Amino acid sequence: MPTPNPAAFAFLAARQSQPAKLFSGPVPSRAELEPILAAALRVPDHGKLEPWRLIVLTRPDMERLAAMAEARALELRGDAEKIEKGRGQFDRGGLAVVVISAPQDVPKIPLAEQKLSAGAVCISLLNAATAAGWGANWLTGWTSHDAEFCARAFGCKGAEAVAGIVHIGTPGPAAPERPRPDLARVVQWGLA
């Protein structure tokens, strides 16, 4: 018989993201962030490849990235909305962790599994930060999907890509509960 952990289950059953734009200061210190990062890296990783890397962004980094996002949007002939969407999360952010999917060329380990491992880091980071009492929000946006921006900003090369940018800060007001998936619609019991 399994040994349940009711507190962990209740936490996961009630988990919801907080909007990063509502975070306030302070943000976690390095000493507070390191155990969160260590917990976040306890993810499935077939072959122990560690097919990801993390970049911790502080306020000065965010200011630099906001300017880089605006410059890239202008290069792409983006309108004011594209510029704002690019700058927005960096203008408002105080601390974030960029999770870079960094797959390795190992034929035995499928690329899809390596990318999913990076996604697992994102959700684990979100959960670890929330469990530690911080607000956390996993964002991307067009800058995360623009290979040139990612190369310039985060040093992405080859098959590397941004899996997510997890903003962490002092939570704002609780977000209203949103509708959750209907199990009857998304779960199939057995093969048809």
Please enumerate, by residue number, every residue annotated as part of a binding site for FMN.
15-17, 42, 46, 138-140
Q: Which residue carries 């000493």 as its tokens?
A: 31
DSSP 110-167: -HHHHHHHHHHHHHHHHHHHHHTT-EEEEE--HHHH-HHHHHHHH---TT-EEEEEEE
Among 39, 192, 166, 46, CA closest to 100: 166
Amino acid occupying residue 175: A
Going by the annotation, the residues of the binding site are 15-17, 42, 46, 138-140
Terminal alpha carbon distance of the chain: 30
